[in-house]
């Protein structure tokens, strides 16, 4: 997928033209076994493939063609030449644009499924036509697809970076620190709080690195680098089992390539290794 995606709310008038379908069963995407990309069903309606779907939400256009997300009623029989693929595999697959769009489609589908009734008064909600929202006809309470901001922080000290192992991770696997933004916090507050809570350090010279949306649970990871200021590395023992500064050329086992943590660690250590400031 190399063309442009244009998000939109209102579906086009019935034109009879085929659409791309992001059809999910639980957290698995229906992919066509086609040699041409994108490997998505491309038809007027999923019924043409003998599939029953529970909901159908318009997403916008990709390369000028309409895109929908749909939830499959069941997955007992799939059309010939099609298979279900886990969302994580699609996100880490050979086509990053398809992965990003599949993540967006999944979040919108899940939000729609989870907000059929007003969370304030219990009345069935209705779709709004002017924005991506569902509104309660009784009390007017409106819900939007949720995104939880989270931060990631890579602390630099000389030629070293601070990496931590979460309790539930395998021995030897390390990554940057991360945590969710709490209500009322500025991102800078979250970064400083998480650093203090998880490893007992103070930081300075905070710099934005980049961001990565993630579909399940729906979050937006905002990644930063900072310089070490003071303190002894003290893992909290609750979330963090181990933490240490590692030389930029002697790193432990790291997360996979699709994560922003890996991109940030690779970028920072490459700069440190050639004596540049990250």
Point out which residues bind Zn ion (CB under 5 A): 118, 120-121, 123, 136, 138-139, 141
Closer CB to Zn ion, 114 or 234, in the complex: 114
Burial 35-72 (b: 16+ CB within 10 A, else e): eeebbbbebeebeebebebeebbbbbbbeeebbbbbbb
For Zn ion, the closer CB: 89 or 126: 126
Nearest to 104 by CA among 276, 224, 220, 183: 220
Please report how close the Cβ of residue 238 comes to Zn ion at its closest, in angstroms. 38
The count of residues in the chain is: 278
Contact (CB, 8 A) for 144 and 115: no
CB 164 within 8 A of CB 235: yes
In this complex, which beta carbon is closest to Zn ion, that of residue 5 or of residue 141?
141
**Whose CA is closest to 67, among 113, 19, 34, 115?**
19
Nearest approach, Cβ of residue 120 and Zn ion (Å)? 5
- Among residues 174, 150, 166, which one has the least CA distance to residue 235? 166
Instruction: Give min distance, CB of 119 to Zn ion, in A.
Output: 8
Nearer to Zn ion, 86 or 124 (CB): 124
Q: How far is the CB of 113 from Zn ion (least distance, A)?
A: 18
- Nearer to Zn ion by C-beta: 115 or 165? 115
Q: Provide the minimum distance between the beta carbon of 188 and Zn ion in the complex, in angstroms, as a whole number.
A: 36
């Amino acid at each position: 997928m190399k063309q442009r995606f244009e998000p939109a709310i209102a579906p086009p008038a019935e034109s009879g033209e085929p659409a791309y379908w992001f059809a999910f069963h639980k957290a698995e995407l229906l992919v066509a076994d086609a040699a041409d990309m994108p490997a998505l069903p491309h038809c007027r309606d999923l019924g043409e493939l003998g599939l029953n779907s529970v909901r159908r939400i318009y997403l916008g256009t990709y390369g000028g063609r309409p895109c929908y997300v749909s939830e499959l009623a069941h997955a007992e029989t799939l059309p010939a030449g099609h298979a279900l693929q886990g969302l994580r595999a699609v996100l880490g697959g050979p086509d990053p644009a398809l992965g990003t769009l599949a993540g967006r489609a999944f979040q919108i589908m899940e939000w729609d499924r989870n907000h059929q009734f007003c969370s304030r008064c219990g009345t069935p909600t209705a779709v709004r036509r002017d924005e991506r929202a569902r509104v309660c006809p009784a009390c007017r309470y409106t819900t939007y697809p949720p995104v939880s901001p989270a931060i990631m922080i890579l602390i630099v000290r000389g030629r070293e970076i601070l990496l931590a192992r979460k309790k539930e991770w395998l021995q030897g696997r390390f990554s940057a620190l991360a945590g969710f933004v709490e209500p009322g916090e500025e991102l800078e507050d979250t970064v400083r709080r998480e650093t203090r809570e998880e490893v007992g350090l103070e930081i300075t010279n905070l710099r934005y690195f980049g961001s990565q949306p993630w579909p399940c649970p729906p979050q937006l990871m905002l990644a930063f680098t900072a310089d070490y200021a003071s303190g002894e590395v003290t893992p909290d023992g609750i979330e963090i089992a181990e933490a240490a500064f590692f030389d930029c050329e002697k790193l432990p086992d790291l997360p996979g390539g699709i994560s922003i943590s890996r991109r940030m660690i690779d970028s920072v250590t490459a700069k440190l290794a050639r004596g540049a400031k990250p």
